[in-house]
Structure 1
Amino acid sequence: MKWFLSIIILTFTFLSCKNINKDVNYAYIGGEIINPNTNFIVLEKDEKLIDTIKLDGRNRFIYKIDNLDPGFYSFTHGGEFQMILLEPQDSLLLRLNTIEFDESLVFSGIGKKKNNYFINEFLEHEKQEKYIFKICQLKPENYIKHIDSIKALKTNHLELFKKKHKPSKLFSKIAQANIDFDYYSHKEMYPFIHYGRDKVAILNSLPEHFYDYRKNINYNDEFFSKYHNYKAFLRKNVSNLALQAHAKHSQDKPFKHKELCYNLARLNIIDSLVSDPTIKDELLYHFAIDYLSKNQNIEDNEVLLKSYLNKSKDDKGKVIMERINASINRLKTGEKIPEFTVTDYKQHNHDISSIIKKNTVICFWSQAYYKHFNDSYKRIKELKLKYPEINFIRINIDDYNLQRSKNILENHNYISNNEYKLQNPGSAKESLAIYPVTKTFIVDKNNTIVSSNSNLFSFRFEKELLGLINR
């Protein structure tokens, strides 16, 4: 890697001297992938493809971005992705092992300090979220003290970094936004995560100034419109505002996430607060598909779909939503599961009905959701021992070739006779309305749907299995 780094820096220096005063608006990205799943990486900016970059014989690459638009870029490899901050004249090198994608990722070269800062913050954030879930059970005043302390530590860390490394204004703006959006999100999630069932009472117990920061929220921030932390915060904020609106006409009924009026309130709040078409359409789509995919009441689904269609300007999203809703209506309990084709890892194709010979659980995985990929395998391994009379199968839904999927399974020692891949992921995912990836089907021996919207990790899941066994 040191030799590789030296060559790239020399190349970068030569090109920089050659192009001095001609073009300073460029950046280089290069690196090495250990245990690659494919022979390329995909580079994107704001969800738009920049290029597909091939790895060489040593699984390394180097790429120059001309006419650089400074900001976050994403690189994807083998179904996983991470963000990098690129600014003019950066020459950033990365090194990662696909088996531990985020944890193994390190940066070197020009631009390494800011990107190592961000990847370390990302990994720390993942650990921190587990802690936040625990302290959400505290009373509001104590909870505020804890999250204020977390914010103060992060702010101090950022200030020390800025003093030492003198980063750009762009870095400082994004790094500070990370801290702020996380802090705001922790406040917005409090009523939902707190164990108390009476969410209205929890809202009423909050200190008067608990949500004062809302006065300064920009719901149409074009700069952060593609930024994960901003989008995650807006989703939590909209959900919380809808809870407050719902509480006014819920007649003291217990709060339920699947309540139609609550979900309509979320769409109405987005419509009233957000004018930026990109942000608005994305939020509307997120909440509409979240509701439709988890609800089996056809009449309620039609009401919510109509509200979504009236508010969204995204014609492509509307078509997809109507198709998904139609698929959901066909996946009712008592209906036959739609026919689709899967491929086993000996390259044999099977109609799904030919595999279902007894009561069966069908779940799905994608490498884009790495934690679920691992956790679902372990959960099924446990359930197989407890319920030998049930067949458990897992199906990969990613839109890449069979060998790539097989490599991922073999790298984790997950290959088994009950692992398959969708032959036509696009059409199958639509007909099965696979959203989210945690969606699990329970089907009886006659291919009849018992449940089209279960979850392996739900506390009700084993009760559903026992109900099927005891029929």
Structure 2
Amino acid sequence: MELQKGFNFNLFLNTNENFYMKLHFLSLLVILTLFNCKKDGNNAEDNYAYFGGEIMNPNSDFVVILKSDVVVDTIKLDKRNRFLYKINNLKAGLYTFYHGGEVQMVLLEPKDSLLFRLNTLEFDESLVFTGIGDKKNNYLMNEFLENEIQEKKIFKFCQLKPHVYESRVDSLKAFKLNKLNTFKSKYNPSALFEKIAKANIDYNYFSSKEVYPFVHHGNNKAEIVKALPKDFYSYRKSINYNDDFFKEHNHYNSFLRYSANNLALQDHLHHSSDSEFKRNSLCYNLDRLKIVDSLIINKTIKNELLYHFTANYLSKSNNTENNDAIVNSYLSKSSDETGKNEIKRFAASLNNLKEGGNFPDIKIVNYKNEELEINSLIKTPTVICFWSNQYYNHFKESHYKLNELKEKYPEVKFIVINIDDFGQDRPKASLKDNRFKFKDEYQFKNPKESIEALAIQPMTKTIVIDKHQKIVYNNTNIFSVNFEEQLLGAINRK
């Protein structure tokens, strides 16, 4: 996608303020460039980088910079929502910056002076870099966004026969390599940039191969796998499944997840007697945890994958016995004590939300700042949904859908809860800007405790309760094809 897609700076600043903002950034760039020139030739002092920017519609008043999951520093935004930070003793490589639940990676090398602008309402799409180091980071950012668009194409291509599909993804890879070579010829970037950019292309390509059997139509996965060319996965021989350098890299981690899915599928098909593959079956998910345990040696990578697959399974399961089996398998394989405690609490919360059980007492606050017990609102069949400014598209689409449902089912109470923990101003502004009414809109009184108690994962989670305050569905989705059927069942309960 293009730079600044969806970003209109004049929506947020008047003309004069916009002029001074640009002047401010230009001044910073001039100062930083002169400072860099002055330091040229003094190698002992060259090992630093400047990183800063401006955040429109901030979700908090700070930015966190991390390297290899270790916090470098937490930087407060000034009154204009800007910051500038110097990283001394720089370790060249990928850094993560975190703001309000959103994360993005940047490549920093010695003497970079990198500035960015972003609008949190379209976090990735609005992010644009300027300054020394901007070319390589804008290239990587554009690649990231283009890959998101291409994922939709890949899913369509997956319906093609294997050899035709392979030809299409090979062409996509060749196009990207050609684009990278053009960039290299024009800007002569570092070997580190080239390593990362090439890995982006490779791991994205490998992922497209791994996902094919799952997306290709039909549930007879054994036949689909059998129809693949013999060399379809030949690249696996050269893969480092324990790459410490790329362990926090999006494309690498996506590939590892897809690969674990696929390798577990092949193992599962050898001993499963099911006529159709069921992705949420206990057997397959236990197989997947075994694959991760046997394939991955690096503790960080292994623990992250084990946690991801376990939490993902639990978030979609209503079977307590199966949940216990998955949790026990995870606990026996992970060495991450923090992750273990989180999974145990997550499973316990899910068990407390059993269908047919009572909905827990949760305190909520309306936008008049009045505190209420959520159960005091449940006198008719009730749907409880959640949203966050961090998932802005979901916020808008879910509210449009809820407005439709409210018209069709006036006898149902719809309770919509913002789960964010940064006050009421931002959620109120989001509702107002999109012309959504405040009626039936709430926030948690204690967000952290309530999110854990209701096991809110994923964000699309929806809970349906009958007029007796009994849970009918503890984990459904208003966008599901059978949601209205489920809702009618709750309405007709005596």
**Interval containing the TM-score (normalised by the shorter chain):** over 0.9
Q: Could you say which residue in structure 2 is the equivalent of 1:5?
A: 25
1:449, 1:304 → 2: CA distance? 24
Residue 226 of structure 1, aligned match among 248, 259, 264: 248
| C-alpha deviation, 1:29, in angstroms | 1.4
Residue 171 of structure 2, aligned match among 149, 158, 163: 149
1:248, 1:310 → 2: CA distance? 24
| Residue correspondence of structure 1 range 87-236 to structure 2 within 5 A | 87-236=109-258
Amino acid at match of 1:317: G
Q: Could you say which residue in structure 2 is the equivalent of 1:306?
A: 328
Amino acid at match of 1:11: I
Residue 247 in 1 paired to residue 247 in 2? no
Q: Could you say which residue in structure 1 is the equivalent of 2:7?
A: none
2:473, 2:411 → 1: CA distance? 18
Amino acid at match of 1:351: E
1:391, 1:252 → 2: CA distance? 41
2:247, 2:399 → 1: CA distance? 35
Residue 361 of structure 2, aligned match among 326, 339, 343: 339
Deviates more, 1:48-57 or 1:440-449: 48-57
Residue 59 in 1 paired to residue 59 in 2? no
Give SS of 2:154's match: helix
| Residue correspondence of structure 1 range 35-46 to structure 2 within 5 A | 35-46=57-68
Task: Go from structure 1 to structure 2 and tell me whether the alpha carbon gap of 1:451 and 1:425 turns closer, same or farther (over 3 Å shift).
Answer: same
Q: Could you say which residue in structure 2 is the equivalent of 1:406?
A: 428
Amino acid at match of 1:368: Q
| Deviation digits for residues 261-304 of structure 1 (CA, Å, limit 9, x no counterpart) | 10000010011000111000111111111112221222222222
| C-alpha deviation, 1:54, in angstroms | 2.6
Aligned 8 A contact 1:365 1:397 in 2: yes
| Residue correspondence of structure 1 range 350-361 to structure 2 within 5 A | 350-361=372-383
Give SS of 1:433's match: coil
Aligned 8 A contact 1:395 1:420 in 2: yes
Give SS of 2:45's match: coil
| Deviation digits for residues 111-166 of structure 1 (CA, Å, limit 9, x no counterpart) | 11011111211221121111111121111111111111111111110110011101
Give SS of 1:335's match: coil
1:370, 1:35 → 2: CA distance? 12
| C-alpha deviation, 1:412, in angstroms | 3.6
| C-alpha deviation, 1:37, in angstroms | 3.9
1:422, 1:106 → 2: CA distance? 34
Q: Could you say which residue in structure 2 is the equivalent of 1:459?
A: 481
Aligned 8 A contact 2:260 2:288 in 1: yes
Aligned 8 A contact 2:415 2:440 in 1: yes
Amino acid at match of 1:254: E
| C-alpha deviation, 1:252, in angstroms | 4.3
Amino acid at match of 2:356: G
Amino acid at match of 2:140: F
Aligned 8 A contact 1:26 1:88 in 2: yes
Deviates more, 1:163-172 or 1:121-130: 121-130
| C-alpha deviation, 1:316, in angstroms | 1.4
1:386, 1:45 → 2: CA distance? 50
Q: What TM-score results when the alignment is normalised by the length of structure 1? A: 0.95
2:22, 2:425 → 1: CA distance? 32
| Deviation digits for residues 210-232 of structure 1 (CA, Å, limit 9, x no counterpart) | 11111112111100111111111
Residue 384 in 1 paired to residue 406 in 2? yes
2:39, 2:230 → 1: CA distance? 61
Aligned 8 A contact 1:79 1:367 in 2: no
Aligned 8 A contact 2:60 2:422 in 1: no
Give SS of 1:256's match: coil
| Deviation digits for residues 78-106 of structure 1 (CA, Å, limit 9, x no counterpart) | 43332221111000111223333322221
| C-alpha deviation, 1:18, in angstroms | 5.4
Aligned 8 A contact 1:363 1:440 in 2: yes
Task: Go from structure 1 to structure 2 and tell me whether the alpha carbon gap of 1:59 and 1:303 turns closer, same or farther (over 3 Å shift).
Answer: closer
Aligned 8 A contact 1:37 1:408 in 2: no
Aligned 8 A contact 1:53 1:63 in 2: yes
| Deviation digits for residues 327-371 of structure 1 (CA, Å, limit 9, x no counterpart) | 212211100011111111221111110122211111212233333
Q: Could you say which residue in structure 1 is the equivalent of 2:438?
A: 416
Residue 267 of structure 1, aligned match among 289, 293, 296: 289
| Deviation digits for residues 162-205 of structure 1 (CA, Å, limit 9, x no counterpart) | 11101111111111111111111111111111121211111111
Task: Go from structure 1 to structure 2 and tell me whether the alpha carbon gap of 1:371 and 1:199 turns closer, same or farther (over 3 Å shift).
Answer: farther
Identity over aligned pairs, percent:
54
Task: Go from structure 1 to structure 2 and tell me whether the alpha carbon gap of 1:135 and 1:386 turns closer, same or farther (over 3 Å shift).
Answer: farther
Amino acid at match of 2:26: S
Q: Could you say which residue in structure 2 is the equivalent of 1:437?
A: 459
2:112, 2:196 → 1: CA distance? 17
Give SS of 1:49's match: strand
Residue 396 of structure 1, aligned match among 418, 433, 437: 418
Task: Go from structure 1 to structure 2 and tell me whether the alpha carbon gap of 1:356 and 1:45 turns closer, same or farther (over 3 Å shift).
Answer: farther
Amino acid at match of 1:5: F
Deviates more, 1:386-395 or 1:300-309: 386-395
Give SS of 2:384's match: strand
Aligned 8 A contact 1:80 1:367 in 2: no
Give SS of 1:255's match: coil
1:39, 1:300 → 2: CA distance? 42
Aligned 8 A contact 1:94 1:105 in 2: yes
Deviates more, 1:383-392 or 1:156-165: 383-392
Amino acid at match of 2:120: T
Q: Could you say which residue in structure 2 is the equivalent of 1:329?
A: 351
| C-alpha deviation, 1:64, in angstroms | 1.0
Q: Could you say which residue in structure 1 is the equivalent of 2:14?
A: none
